Amino acid sequence: MTEPSKTDHLNAIPAIHADRVSRIVPLGERQLTILDDVSLTVARGETMAIVGASGSGKTTLLGLLAGLDRPDQGNVAWHGETISALSEEQLAIRRQGAIGFVFQSFQLLPALTALENVMLPLELAGARDAESRASAWLDRVGLGERVEHLPRQLSGGEQQRVAIARAFVADPKIVFADEPTGNLDTDTGAEIVELMFALNREQGTTLVLVTHDIELAARCNRVLRLARGKVVA
Amino acid sequence: MSVVPRLIVRFVRRELRTAEARILVLALAVAVASVGAVAMFSERVKAAFANQANVLLGADVMISGDRPLPESLIAEATARGLRTTLSTRFGSMVAAVRNDAVAPAGDTALSDVKAISGDYPLRGALEKRNAAGERVPFVASVHPGEVFVDERLAARLRVKAGDRIELGKLKPRVAQVFAEEPEVAGSFLSASPKVLMSDADVAASELLGPGSRATYRLQVAGDRAQEFAEAIKPRLGPGQRLETVRELRPEVRSTLERSEQFLGLAASFSVFLAVVAIVLALRRYLKREIDTATLFRTLGAGQRQTFLHFLGQFFVLALIACVLGVLLAFVAQALLAWAVRGLFASTLPPAGWLPLGKAFATGPILLLGFALPPLVALAATPPVRALRRELPAVNGGGVFAVLLGAIAVLAVVLMQSQDLQTGAIFVGGLIALVGLATGFAALLLWAIRRLVRHGRLGKLGGPQSWAYGLANLDRRRLSTALQIACLGLGVTTLIAVGFVRTDLFSAWQKSLPPDAPNRFLINIQPDQIESVRTLLPKTADGKPIALYPMVRGRLVAVNDKAVSPKDYADERAKRLVDREFNLSAAEALPPANKIVAGEYFAATDRGVMSIEDGIAATLGLKLGDRVTFDVAGEALEVRITSLRKVEWDSFRVNFFALLPEPTVAPLPKSYITAFHLPGSDSKTLPTIVNVAPNVLAIDVSEIMGRVRAIVDQVARALEFVFAFTLLAGLLTLYTAVVATQDERRYDTALIRTLGGTRRQIVASLIAEFSALGGAAGLLGVAGAIALTWTLATRILKIDFVASPSVWISGFALATGLTMLAGWLGTRSVLNTPPIQVLRE
Ligand SMILES: Nc1ncnc2c1ncn2[C@@H]1O[C@H](COP(=O)(O)OP(=O)(O)OP(=O)(O)O)[C@@H](O)[C@H]1O
Ligand SMILES: [Mg+2]
């Protein structure tokens, strides 16, 4: 089991709490347990890294914590509310503006400009000032000049920065990031990491990220190590 | 969170940057345009036909009444700026006057007298003969104290222009002998020779006493004639009726209806093509939208919100496509009208807004019909797909989707042709074809698996790249099945269009051969049969021309219950009961007749009758009814044992009522015949009338000429419509292949990076496309045969002619085009750096 974190006492109710969650998928005749009995707690404003070998279940765990997928056993709670029991619709409502994502392979909508991609969470929430807020965020991630560009006109690192702007634009309480630097060179990766930690400090955003990058993991408040679906450290 | 219309509009604007959305809009716009253009053009052509047929009325609109028509009608017509002619039509004996004395008996004839005011006729023209004996048109008004008589009466009375005739109390001068008048409305079997007199002379002639029977007519002509007709229709009193050429002349009616059917078919075919285009474009578009939906869901949009958003988005896209399509339709139909400008006497009348409205509705109906089920599925995209894109995308809705699509197509086809049977055939055909395509694709894939998997193709000497190409089809099973179905449907449509245009249409044209009978002889007495027959031309195969007995009888009772005109509400029924029926005999069912109920009587049966089903319906007669006729004072009772459909446009001698010969034999009767005379023959008829003065000779070549002209015009107008449909079809086929290129482009680029040579890739593509095209071609040909057979036998009622050449060329064309389009769509991959394709 994980040790209690250093900042745990600051917030009585944790931002995320997973209680013995398992994920089992059918594999032909057999059942394959891809996540086995994982429990964890992330306090508000805390940063946590999920590390482990490829195929160890990191993305699967992130999906469960983010409420994008449902555990076969166990519960996940956000700010004390058990989300595993909620309907798809209720869950969607909880996500609105409260959760941000940076995905491993799934990023921007190719038909939308950088600005429009960032505006999307705000527009969906019906915000009136979507455009100005989105362009402010693009400025912050250093893409103030590139607002009108389509994703295919941006480099991989630039696209990743747009994705980060999109994840943070609605002032979410928690941001989940699946290998945010995975496709980037070291320098660009470091830049992106700096950006995320800065945002974590400034906004008090809880940050959960999956990474292979040991340096990045070391900068987090906590590190959760997975091996074959189990927590090993 | 709610659905924000602004967001929808914004999204549409953004999406329109993508090729997928543009192709969808374009496909839909082309669909709307072709449906709209064909419908609009057909309506204009139909209106032009109606105008042309109305020449047979001598006017644009004609109102008849048993009593003088009220002044208000005329006032209303003049108020609309229409020209009017009033006429009174009645029968009267006419005699020749020689040396101021009425000629002795024999030089008299029962004539059809028409008293007219003003110029006559309003539409078309009278015809007289010039010195060379050719007919020349003229329009004139008859002055008081004068009459115009037709050639038949002139021959009968032996009078010429300048002579006088006795007409009631008057002895007017024959100012003109005419050959033909355009108004041929009314049964020509009872037509008498014609006299035109001035309206001003009617009172003085004392021909119309209080008890005399006459028909009063108002003929009007002008731009707003139809508007006038619509306006007064509901206000017509008892005994008044709006005459249309359709009701008056069965052969014209069936010609017009047939023309409309053909044009309607063309419109239905364009719906088919629209379906293919939309299904494929939609599929490609929806595939891209899965990503958007996933993102929506992860960002906290509920299922309902996601659904409504996409629904709204589709609606806006459809709207754009429809506006675009309607504009295109307008231009296209104008081009069509321009292309046929020489065909019609006057410019085509403008189309109403209805066809455009219908075309406009086609877009949303088809789009939503096919998009709704996948949209529901789209909205249910699991958000976890954001983490694993390879998760299978949601399915398309299965049976529900097919059903909804079918309903949408039915709705659109019904909107086009307003004929449930045609709609059912098209939708049934569509469903059957999709089923067939699925089965066919499964079979093809099974064969490919067997060939490829076990390496048999290699053993048979086929190159490995072929195996790869074929295996590609197997890997994209669903996509392959859909492509085969859509391509097959497109090919079906193209072949069916070509087939309808050439074979079915010429089958119809042939039903009115150039040597169809164009002269009728009526009132031949039994003792004149031999002498008349010697004067008649022989049939093409050298046989003497048939003469048919004709017995006149008035309908007096049905099932022992006496009937009179008062018993019928319907005007036509009243008139039928009022007049005498022509009863005839035929041992066997005559050609151009078809039994629709009961059985045709045997030659030895007595006291039975076969009746035309339309007239039976008008009079409320059923199979098994006993009907009593008054034949020259004697009662004749017969039982209805069969109902017949008659092809009136065959221009044969046709009768409403047919009896067995033994029943007719003892009755007083005359004979009738029809035969063909070339237009140049102006001697035969006068010779016959000289030998048998009581015989009435009627020339229907005029009507036939008009009907044939209509048929020819339909033929040429259809050429253009079908050429247009064909063009739209080819475009659709091309889009069909191109719309499925993405995966192929990606695969091909990948193979290139892995070191595939150009030759290998080309070979694999050829294998893939020829299998695809061949399958679609086979399916298309099978579908076309089934569809055209059904259309021919069920809707057009025309003999189906197998035409292997059309099928074979259709198959070759389908395969060739698929390969060509596939090649064009994929070729660029070979010339582009693979990385660029992979990044797309
Ligand atoms: N829906 C599924 N069906 C079957 N197997 C699955 C499914 N989802 C995940 N897996 C399997 O579970 C294991 C864990 O997958 P997961 O994507 O969580 O790994 P990961 O730690 O994120 O790996 P990577 O670092 O390569 O991204 C893998 O072996 C994967 O193949
Ligand atoms: Mg992963």
- 3-state SS, B810-828, equals HHHHHHHHHHHHHHHHHHH
Q: Which ligand is nearest to the CA of A26?
A: 1
Domain tally, chain B: 4
Q: Do B389 and A105 touch (CB under 8 A)?
A: yes
A20-29, A96-105, A183-192, B817-826 — which one is most confidently predicted on average?
Answer: A20-29
**Domain final position from B641, B675, B709:** B675
Q: Residue with structure tokens 């007519």?
A: B217
- Tokens read off for B177: 């002998």
- Top pLDDT among B420 and B590 is at B590
**Helical H segments across B739-833, by residue range:** 741-753, 758-790, 804-831
Tell me the per-residue pLDDT of B482-527, one tens digit each, with 9 for 90 and over: 777 777 777 787 777 777 777 666 766 666 667 777 777 877 888 8
Peptide bond between residue B544 and the one before it cis (omega within 30 degrees of 0): no
User: Do B203 and B271 lie in a common domain?
Assistant: no
**b/e B754-766 (16+ beta carbons within 10 angstroms → b):** eebeeebbbbbbb
Using a CB-CB cut-off of 8 Å, the residues of chain B touching A89 are 302-304
Distances (CA, A) of A61 to A209, A233, B177, B636, B718: 11, 15, 104, 98, 66
Any B CB within 8 A of A97 CB? yes
Q: Which ligand is nearest to the CA of A30?
A: 1
Which is nearest to B382 in space by CA: B372, B369, B395? Answer: B395
Q: Which ligand is nearest to the CA of A65?
A: 1
Asked if the model's pLDDT at residue A42 lies above 80, the reply is: yes
pLDDT at B20: 77
Which is nearest to B94 in space by CA: B140, B187, B158? Answer: B158
pLDDT at B45: 76
CB under 8 Å, gap of 24 or more: what pairs does B392-396 form?
B393/B287, B393/B290, B394/B290
Map residue A87 onto helix, strand or coil: coil
Asked if the model's pLDDT at residue B281 lies above 50, the reply is: yes
Closest residue to atom 4 of ligand 1, CA basis: A25
B66 lies in a domain? no
Asked if the model's pLDDT at residue B186 lies above 50, the reply is: no
Asked if the model's pLDDT at residue B706 lies above 70, the reply is: no
What is the C-alpha separation between B311 and B379, in angstroms, rounded?
10
Given a contact cutoff of 8 angstroms between Cβ atoms, the answer to whether A84 and A27 are in contact is no
Ligand 1 atom at minimal distance to the Cα of residue A226 = 21
**Among residues of chain B, what percentage have pLDDT more than 70?**
80
Q: Please count the residue pairs, one from chain A and one from chain B, whose beta carbons lie less than 8 angstroms apart.
A: 89
What's the average model confidence in pLDDT over B148-172? Answer: 86
Which is nearest to B384 in space by CA: A139, A106, A165, A207? Answer: A106
Ligand 1 centroid–CA A56 distance in Å is: 7
Q: Do A68 and B387 touch (CB under 8 A)?
A: yes
pLDDT at B642: 92
B155 lies in a domain? yes
What is the C-alpha separation between B636 and B816, in angstroms, rounded?
69
**Among residues of chain A, what percentage have pLDDT more than 90?**
16
User: Do B715 and B754 lie in a common domain?
Assistant: yes
Decide the pairing of beta strands B657-659 and B626-631.
unpaired
Dihedral (CA of B627, B632, B635, B637) sign: negative
B388 lies in a domain? yes
Residues in contact with B285: Cβ distance below 8 Å, sequence separation at least 6, in sequence order: B20, B21, B23, B24
Query: In terms of residues, how long is chain B?
Result: 840
User: Do B372 and B275 lie in a common domain?
Assistant: yes
The DSSP-derived string for B585-610 is E-SSPPTTEEEEEE-PPPTT--SEEE
What's the average model confidence in pLDDT over A153-167? Answer: 86
User: Do B494 and B573 lie in a common domain?
Assistant: no
A172: nearest CA partner in chain B: B299
- Tokens read off for B71: 């002044």
Q: Do B295 and A97 touch (CB under 8 A)?
A: no
For ligand 1, mutation pick of A59, A106, A183, A208 (most atoms within 8 Å of CB): A59
User: Do B620 and B573 lie in a common domain?
Assistant: yes
What's the average model confidence in pLDDT over B248-272? Answer: 70
What is the C-alpha separation between A76 and A107, in angstroms, rounded?
25
Given a contact cutoff of 8 angstroms between Cβ atoms, the answer to whether A195 and A161 are in contact is yes
Q: What residues are paired with B321 via a beta bridge?
A: none
B691 lies in a domain? no
Given a contact cutoff of 8 angstroms between Cβ atoms, the answer to whether B664 and B636 are in contact is no
Structure confidence at residue A120 as a pLDDT band (50, 70, 90) = confident
- Tokens read off for A132: 């100005």
User: Do B509 and B545 lie in a common domain?
Assistant: no
What is the C-alpha separation between B278 and B22, in angstroms, rounded?
12
Which is nearest to B232 in space by CA: B376, B364, B375, B79? Answer: B79
Tell me the per-residue pLDDT of B308-328, one tens digit each, with 9 for 90 and over: 888 888 888 888 988 998 898
pLDDT at B639: 93
User: Do B352 and B402 lie in a common domain?
Assistant: yes
B521 lies in a domain? no
- Tokens read off for B166: 């006795």
Distances (CA, A) of B733 to A132, B85, B270, B812: 46, 56, 13, 14
If one counts every other C-beta atom within 10 angstroms of the C-beta of residue B187, the result is: 12
B661 lies in a domain? yes
If one counts every other C-beta atom within 10 angstroms of the C-beta of residue B106, the result is: 12
B682 lies in a domain? no
User: Do B160 and B210 lie in a common domain?
Assistant: yes
Residue type, position A31, single letter: Q
What is the C-alpha separation between B229 and B97, in angstroms, rounded?
43
What is the C-alpha separation between B837 and B774, in angstroms, rounded?
28
For ligand 1, mutation pick of A29, A30, A36, A60 (most atoms within 8 Å of CB): A60
| Longest CA span, chain A | 54
Which is nearest to B188 in space by CA: B610, B811, B674, B596? Answer: B674
Given a contact cutoff of 8 angstroms between Cβ atoms, the answer to whether B725 and B269 are in contact is yes
Question: Around A62, how many Cα atoms within 13 Å sit in the side-chain half-sphere?
Answer: 34
What's the average model confidence in pLDDT over B243-266? Answer: 68
If one counts every other C-beta atom within 10 angstroms of the C-beta of residue B599, the result is: 12
Residues in contact with B551: Cβ distance below 8 Å, sequence separation at least 6, in sequence order: B582, B583, B584, B631, B659, B664, B667, B668, B669
User: Do B705 and B671 lie in a common domain?
Assistant: no
Any A CB within 8 A of B838 CB? no
Which is nearest to B422 in space by CA: B405, B435, B409, B403? Answer: B409
Q: What is the mean pLDDT of chain A?
A: 84
Q: Do A123 and B4 touch (CB under 8 A)?
A: yes
Substitution target from B17, B296, B299 for chain A, most A beta carbons within 10 A: B299
Ligand 2 centroid–CA A228 distance in Å is: 13
What is the C-alpha separation between B468 and B490, in angstroms, rounded?
27
Distances (CA, A) of B470 to B345, B537, B547, B766, B803: 57, 68, 69, 9, 32
pLDDT at B733: 66
Closest residue to atom 13 of ligand 1, CA basis: A55
Q: Do B299 and A112 touch (CB under 8 A)?
A: no
pLDDT at A8: 46
Of B292, B298, B301, the CB nearest to A68: B298
User: Do B118 and B7 lie in a common domain?
Assistant: no
pTM score over 0.80: no
CB under 8 Å, gap of 24 or more: what pairs does A189-196 form?
A189/A213, A189/A216, A191/A157, A192/A157, A192/A160, A192/A161, A192/A164, A193/A219, A195/A141, A195/A161, A195/A164, A196/A164
Ligand 1 pocket by C-beta < 6 Å: which residues? A 25, 34, 52, 54-60
Q: Do B1 and A95 touch (CB under 8 A)?
A: no
User: Do B584 and B459 lie in a common domain?
Assistant: no
Tell me the per-residue pLDDT of B613-658, one tens digit each, with 9 for 90 and over: 888 888 889 999 999 998 888 889 999 999 998 877 666 777 888 9
The domain of B549 spans: 538-675
Q: What residues are paired with B85 via a beta bridge?
A: B219
User: Do B704 and B830 lie in a common domain?
Assistant: yes
B145 lies in a domain? yes
Closest residue to atom 27 of ligand 1, CA basis: A54
Any B CB within 8 A of A62 CB? yes
Tell me the per-residue pLDDT of B385-419, one tens digit each, with 9 for 90 and over: 877 766 655 555 566 777 787 788 888 877 776 66
